[in-house]
A and B are shown apart, each in its own frame.
Chain A
Amino acid sequence: MTIMLLPGIALSSVRSLSEAADRDTPVLLARNLRELALAARVIAGNVRTFWEQSRSLLATEGMQAPELRKNTALFLECLVTLSEALTRINRLARRMGDPLADVCSNVAEVEARVQSLQAEISGVHELVSRPVGPDFLERARKAAEEDPGVYLTHEEMLAGFQDPDH
């Protein structure tokens, strides 16, 4: 989970750089910005890897929706922080003009990756965050009241899954 803290660290680093921008030499500031942009790229890559691991877990074990909701919310929070750090790096780099054009293009590329990951995770978050509709509750209540009829046991249900002719 340490990786989820890294965007926050990057953001506080760029804040320190913003404050130091007026007194530091342009060369020092440029070097720091360049390093920070590279660090942001690595962080974005690691967050993507971490998300892929969560998807693997979803494929092999599955998760209950409340757990998945918390998981995706944490990812989204982390990506928002990273986006904010990237925006600030970009703003500072633009202020310095041409010498930092490579930083601007690096940041733009990382921003695009972050946005794509955000869109993917937002979709999953929305899927598992839909509120219980009144229809669902009404139908569930009705089903609970209905004549119980013939219920299948879990073993019969399993047999039905395993045997397509069952």
Chain B
Amino acid sequence: MSFSLEYKPGIREYLRGLSSLSRQGRNRLFAMIDFDLRQHGDTLLADANRCLDVEKAIFQYEPAFLDKDGDGLIHHFRIAVDASPAAVGVLRIIYVEESSR
């Protein structure tokens, strides 16, 4: 089942403001979010290990990739996903943290 994704205000600015990420890196991140969350979000929701808060239906999604065209480091994103509107086909990306090595 595929979902519509919504981004909380401020997240776009945060991701665009990551100067360590190259354009290709941003595209890679976007492609991963599209594939893993929009197209296959049900797999994420079915994995109890990714649930951070059962009551509020908050899940974590953690894409990681090597940004060869940027700083050459591996970037790890921890993304909080609000799945409370999943019943109507929507997942909300509500908080993001990034670390790299």
Chain A nearest CB from B21 CB (Å) reads 10
Partner of B95, one of A126, A130, A140: A140
Given A59-B68, A153-B5, A136 and B62 contact (CB-CB distance below 8 Å): no
B45 within 8 A of A: no
A58 within 8 A of B: yes
List B residues 37-62 near A (Cβ within 8 Å). Answer: 38, 49, 52-53, 56, 58, 60-62
Partner of B92, one of A63, A132, A151: A151
Q: Is the CB of A152 within 8 A of B101?
A: no
Q: Is the CB of A63 within 8 A of B64?
A: yes
- How far apart are the CA atoms of A68 and B68 in the complex, in Å? 17
Q: Is the CB of B62 within 8 A of A64?
A: yes
Q: Is the CB of A127 within 8 A of B82?
A: no
Given A154-B7, A154-B34, A128 and B62 contact (CB-CB distance below 8 Å): yes
Q: Is the CB of B30 within 8 A of A157?
A: yes
Q: Is the CB of A58 within 8 A of B80?
A: no
Listed stretches A18-26, A98-106, A141-149; interface member: A141-149
B94 within 8 A of A: yes
Q: Is the CB of A68 within 8 A of B64?
A: yes
Which B residue's beta carbon lies closest to that of A164? Answer: B16
Q: Mark B1-45, 1 if CB is under 8 A from A, else 0.
A: 000111111001001100000000011111111101010000000
> Which A residues form the contact surface with B (CB < 8 A)?
55, 58-59, 61-66, 68, 123-124, 126-128, 130, 132, 136-137, 139-141, 143-145, 148-154, 157-158, 160-161
Give 6 nearest A-B pairs by CB, closest first: A65-B62, A62-B65, A140-B80, A151-B6, A154-B5, A143-B94
Given contacts A158-B34, A161-B26, 14 further A-B pairs with CB under 8 A are A58-B64, A62-B32, A64-B63, A65-B63, A66-B62, A128-B64, A132-B78, A136-B95, A137-B53, A139-B95, A148-B8, A151-B92, A153-B4, A157-B5
